[in-house]
């Protein structure tokens, strides 16, 4: 499972600004989907059969194995019902649409209503092991945690790099995950292709076609009152930097609610201007075409490495 999420993370991080470039309901059917490119299709075996239902079923199977393992270690453990998480999962059907951007901006800040809804969902979550864990002594809780998650690395192990994360060192959760998911290819074994993949998406932003498109986008944004951005990614990054600065300046207390509300309004206005300019320029369509071209070339250049990665994954199924 960790392998699948890594590939998704690489692509998602690189293409987030493209996805928010404009997906109006009226035009979405006409546009290429950045998440359905040649590389995604080539690696489809890794993602095959992976959806929310299968994820919940796999997690529930894993929880049963954890319970049996913890019993062998001398502890009680009640399986956590993974279906509880489904209500907390974000509905992505409208993500990146005009309606979504109008309500969420870049998705970095939350309205009081959204925060209240999230808190209500968290309050509904039931951990059947909470009372049992609280009944244990401090030393028993430490032993329980070690049995469940494995021994935690020492500062020395982290500093000198001697600690190696593995199923064998991850306690009952590790052994249960290995039984359900199989032996997944390590990131280290395929570091070269992962790194090359990341560089490919960086090259996307630097391609002449995208540089020209960013210049047109910047001119549109200047007309809308935002003259400080040179490329599309700068707009979202500016909000991220402001938000980070708020929390970095704090001494543990949450930032003032008025300041957060002002930043949210700023984010919503900027994101909508960004969306409108990108939509008018056909930004998503243009960038996706370049993305697909780069992915086709990437597959040609790295076919043997990709095939080895896929083969290792399939052996671990």
User: pLDDT 10s digit of each residue in the chain, 317 long?
Assistant: 444 445 544 554 455 545 554 444 444 445 678 778 999 899 887 766 557 788 888 899 999 999 999 999 999 999 999 887 665 555 556 788 999 999 999 998 877 777 677 667 666 677 899 999 999 999 999 999 999 999 888 888 778 877 667 777 889 999 998 888 776 666 678 889 989 999 999 888 899 999 999 999 999 999 999 999 999 999 999 999 998 888 876 566 677 889 989 999 999 999 999 999 999 999 999 999 999 999 999 999 999 999 998 888 777 64
pLDDT at 4: 45
**What's the rounded Cα separation, in Å, for the pair 226 and 247?**
25
Comparing C-alpha atoms, which of 155, 175, 157, 156 is closest to residue 166? 175
Structure tokens at 178: 């290995």
Query: What gap in Å lies between CA 270 and CA 169, rounded to an integer?
Result: 46
Distance CA 100, CA 268 (A): 10
How many whole angstroms separate alpha carbon 287 and alpha carbon 97? 17
Name the residue with tokens 């008025």: 258
Q: What does the chain come to in residues?
A: 317
Q: 113 is in which domain, residue-wise?
A: 2-316
H or E stretch covering 204: helix 191-206
Number of domains in the chain: 1
pTM, whole model, 2 decimals?
0.67
**Burial tier of 26 (Cβ tally within 10 Å: 0-12, 13-18, 19+):** exposed
Return all residues near 105 (Cβ < 8 A) that are at least 6 apart: 239, 264, 267, 268, 270, 271, 272
Burial of 232 (0-12, 13-18, 19+ CB in 10 A): buried
Predicted local confidence at residue 170, as pLDDT: 87
Residue pointed to by tokens 């490119």: 37
| pLDDT at residue 33, rounded to an integer | 80
């Amino acid at each position: 499972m960790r392998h699948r999420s890594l590939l998704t993370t690489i692509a998602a991080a690189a293409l987030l600004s493209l996805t928010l470039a404009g997906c109006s309901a009226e035009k979405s059917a006409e546009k290429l989907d950045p998440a359905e490119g040649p590389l995604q299709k080539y690696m489809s075996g890794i993602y095959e059969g992976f959806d929310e239902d299968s994820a919940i079923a796999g997690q529930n199977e894993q929880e049963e194995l954890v319970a049996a393992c913890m019993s062998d270690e001398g502890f009680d453990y009640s399986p956590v019902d993974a279906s509880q998480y489904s209500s907390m999962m974000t509905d992505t059907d409208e993500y990146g649409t005009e309606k979504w951007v109008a309500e969420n901006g870049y998705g970095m800040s939350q309205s009081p209503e959204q925060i209240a809804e999230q808190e209500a969902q968290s309050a509904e979550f039931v951990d059947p092991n909470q009372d049992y864990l609280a009944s244990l002594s401090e030393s028993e809780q430490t032993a329980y945690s070690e049995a469940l998650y494995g021994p935690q690395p020492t500062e020395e192990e982290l500093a000198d790099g001697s600690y190696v994360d593995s199923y064998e060192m991850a306690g009952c959760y590790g052994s249960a995950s290995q039984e359900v998911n199989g032996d997944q290819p390590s990131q280290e074994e395929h570091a070269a292709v992962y790194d090359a993949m990341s560089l490919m998406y960086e090259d996307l932003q630097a391609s002449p076609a995208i540089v020209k498109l960013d210049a047109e986008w910047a001119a549109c944004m200047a007309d809308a009152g935002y003259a400080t951005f040179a490329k599309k990614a700068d707009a979202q990054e500016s909000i991220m930097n402001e938000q980070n600065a708020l929390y970095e300046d704090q001494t543990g207390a949450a930032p003032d609610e008025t300041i957060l509300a002002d930043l949210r309004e700023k984010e919503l206005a900027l994101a909508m201007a960004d969306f409108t300019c990108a939509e008018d320029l056909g930004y998503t369509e243009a960038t996706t075409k370049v993305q697909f071209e780069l992915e086709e070339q990437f597959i040609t250049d790295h076919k043997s490495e990709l095939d080895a990665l896929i083969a290792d994954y399939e052996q671990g199924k």
